[in-house]
Amino acid sequence: MVQQARRVDVTSFAQICDHRGNAPLDLPALYMMHFDLVWRNLRRLGVEAASLDDAVQDVFLVVHRRAHEFLGQSSTKTWIIGIVLRVAHDYRRRQSRHSARLACLATNGSHQNELDCPSEQLALRQAAELVRKILLGFDDQVRNVFALVELEEMSLREVAEATGLSLSTCQRRLHAARKAFNLALVRHAAATRKGIDL
């Protein structure tokens, strides 16, 4: 049923992808097409699980409120990612002020892939949590570039548009993030061999 609700017809999809500001955006189709993208990236960018639904709603409220401002100079995906970055930043600031209260409300994400084997589910959750812990140790701007390029598979040019950074700045931050990420993985592997939990 959820899959049927998220299905976007081919006409709506084409209108969204090729939108150039001449006609109003098809907001329901935009929501259906980009919900998973928004949810994933808010989670990756440090929004606590207990706040994810509210953050997703806030992103789409901004999309609705500012739809008339979209001129088609970038793709709708890039435009929405720019909104996601700002909303995630706002939520992280609020979370740091209220972390004690939110910690007790945090739950595991409910948008898990359905896997047949419980050990596969556990391994996937552990890997996702490790990546999340590593990313939370990064500076906001470095984390944003890394998550969008490596996890969301956006091009550096799209990331530069979404973040408002120059292409060379994005390249430097991506290089630094990859180096730091690989170092964190090596440290985690060494700690695991020694039986230490990081």
Any idea what the CATH number is for the domain that residue 192 is in?
A: 1.10.10.10
Q: Tell me what the mean pLDDT of segment 28-51 comes to.
A: 90
| Range with top average pLDDT, 73-77, 79-83, 101-105 | 79-83
Say which residues have a Cβ less than 8 Å from residue 118's Cβ, sequence separation at least 6: none
Q: Report pLDDT for 49.
A: 86
Which band of pLDDT confidence, cut at 50, 70 and 90, is reported for residue 53?
very high
CB 24 within 8 A of CB 67: yes
The least confident of 22-31, 39-48, 80-89, 97-106 is 97-106
Q: Report pLDDT for 100.
A: 47
Cα 59 to Cα 68: distance, rounded to the nearest angstrom: 15
- Tokens 């992808």, residue located: 17
Q: Which domain holds residue 191?
A: 115-198
Which band of pLDDT confidence, cut at 50, 70 and 90, is reported for residue 63?
very high
Cα 44 to Cα 128: distance, rounded to the nearest angstrom: 9
Is the predicted pLDDT of residue 23 greater than 90, yes or no? no
Cα 17 to Cα 66: distance, rounded to the nearest angstrom: 17
Is the predicted pLDDT of residue 140 greater than 90, yes or no? no
Domain final position from 83, 108, 133: 108
Cα 172 to Cα 104: distance, rounded to the nearest angstrom: 37
- Mark whether 94 and 120 lie in a shared domain: no
Say which residues have a Cβ less than 8 Å from residue 6's Cβ, sequence separation at least 6: 32, 35, 36
The torsion region of residue 45 among left (phi > 0), alpha (psi -120 to 50) and beta comes to alpha
Domain count, the chain: 2
- Mark whether 123 and 102 lie in a shared domain: no
- Mark whether 48 and 76 lie in a shared domain: yes
- Tokens 């490596």, residue located: 150
Of 55 and 193, the structure prediction assigns the larger pLDDT to 55
Is the predicted pLDDT of residue 154 greater than 80, yes or no? yes
Domain final position from 51, 86, 108: 108
Percent helix, strand, coil in the chain, to 5, is 75, 0, 25
Cα 185 to Cα 135: distance, rounded to the nearest angstrom: 11
**Rounded to 5°, angle at Cα 91 from 86 and 93:** 95
Tell me the average pLDDT of the chain: 78
Domain final position from 74, 108, 142: 108
